[in-house]
Chain A
Amino acid sequence: MDTRTDSLSPLTVAWLALVALTLASLALGEWTAAAPWLPLLMAAVIWAKCAIVADHFLEANRAHPFIRRVVQTFIALAPIALVLITLFGPEIARWTTLD
């Protein structure tokens, strides 16, 4: 949260951006469900939404370095995993087979 000004507008803009990205991802999922690039775009949207929450609501960008790193690492995990699964799904399935 921005305490340099008295305005609530940075928080409101962040919230509106989250709503807009949610509706945009909904439209993408409905209209381009079969597109091979959809998982890559969804990975970007996931990261963008989490980064907005982290920076504007959680204030992780101004937090203690440990907290900042924990948050940055967590919000990068799922998008990276989604990209890897999209590009190397069969290989990852083979690596994670026990027999």
Chain B
Amino acid sequence: MINGTLAPAGAALPAGRIPGNWGIWVGITCEFVEFALLFAVYFIARAHFPEAFHAGPGQLSTTAGTAITLLMVTSSYCIAGSVHAMRRDRRRSAVIWLTVALLVALGYPAVKYLEIGWNLAHGIDSEAGIFVTVYYYLTLNHLVHASWGILGILFVLGRLASGGYTADNHAGLEALGSYWHATDMIWLVMFPLFYLLA
């Protein structure tokens, strides 16, 4: 088994490798199982209350959902850019990419804060029906996972800036990227389910 620490700098990646390390993949698999169950809650509720889920997206701020989506994919891109730079031994470039990723990722809780304020001003609270209950249940859960990821970016950025990674040994950076990309994919599922699919 080959992980990120053994890939030679600048060489083609071998097939069958482990992006990051096994530990992060245990966590990502648990995250996938958790959200698979949460999606089951969504789909079963949608089957039982089709009218509520048809009307639901019209109540929410599409602008907020779109902004979070663009922030997630852009921060994912920046983290991938950081790994790309580190593999070529460009530490300064990797630090810049990861710093931009952090700043973009911080936009997510900021938009979510504004969105919840907008929701409450429009009466979209915990008593607003089954669609809104499921929406808060899943999106706040995702925010918790993204917040862990943001803390992870901060930690890895500190290690990266202080020379903790090299072109041949940066599994920690790759592990962070794997977690963030997985969290990004979960949001890419949630965005149309809650904000677009009337």
Pick from A15, A75, A92: contact of B74, CB under 8 Å = A15
Q: Report whether B197 and A22 are in contact in the complex, using a CB–CB cutoff of 8 Å.
A: no
* A3-27 interface bits toward B, Cβ cutoff 8 Å, 1 = contact, 0 = none: 1101010011011001100100110
Q: Interface extent on A, as a size class?
A: 35 or more
What residues of chain A lie closer than 8 Å to B7, measured between beta carbons?
Answer: 3
Task: Looking at the assembled complex, report how far the CB atom of B33 sits from the nearest CB atom of chain A, in whole angstroms.
Answer: 9
What residues of chain A lie closer than 8 Å to B19, measured between beta carbons?
Answer: 58-60, 63, 67
What residues of chain A lie closer than 8 Å to B87, measured between beta carbons?
Answer: 1, 3
Q: Report whether A58 and B39 are in contact in the complex, using a CB–CB cutoff of 8 Å.
A: no
- Majority SS at the chain A contact face: helix
Q: Interface extent on B, as a size class?
A: 35 or more
Q: Report whether A85 and B15 are in contact in the complex, using a CB–CB cutoff of 8 Å.
A: no
**Interchain CA distance A15-B59 in the complex, whole Å:** 29
Q: A22-B73, A45-B192, A67-B25 are in contact. Are A29 and B182 (CB under 8 A)?
A: no
What residues of chain B lie closer than 8 Å to A60, measured between beta carbons?
Answer: 19
Q: Which residues of B contact A (CB under 8 A)?
A: 1, 7, 10-19, 25, 28-29, 32, 35-36, 39-40, 43-44, 46-48, 50, 57, 62, 66, 69-70, 73-74, 76-77, 79-81, 83-84, 87-88, 177-178, 181-182, 184-185, 188-189, 191-193, 195-198
Nearest first, the 10 closest Cβ-Cβ pairs linking A and B are A29-B196, A15-B77, A93-B47, A58-B181, A18-B73, A33-B198, A92-B47, A78-B189, A74-B32, A57-B80
A-B contact pairs, 19 of them (CB 8 A): A1-B83, A1-B87, A6-B88, A11-B84, A12-B77, A15-B73, A25-B196, A29-B57, A42-B196, A50-B189, A53-B76, A54-B185, A56-B80, A58-B19, A58-B178, A64-B17, A74-B185, A78-B189, A90-B47
**Contacts A57-B184, A62-B13 known; 19 new A-B pairs at CB < 8 A:** A1-B80, A3-B12, A3-B87, A15-B76, A22-B66, A29-B197, A33-B198, A38-B197, A38-B198, A46-B188, A46-B192, A58-B181, A64-B17, A67-B18, A70-B32, A74-B35, A81-B43, A89-B47, A89-B50
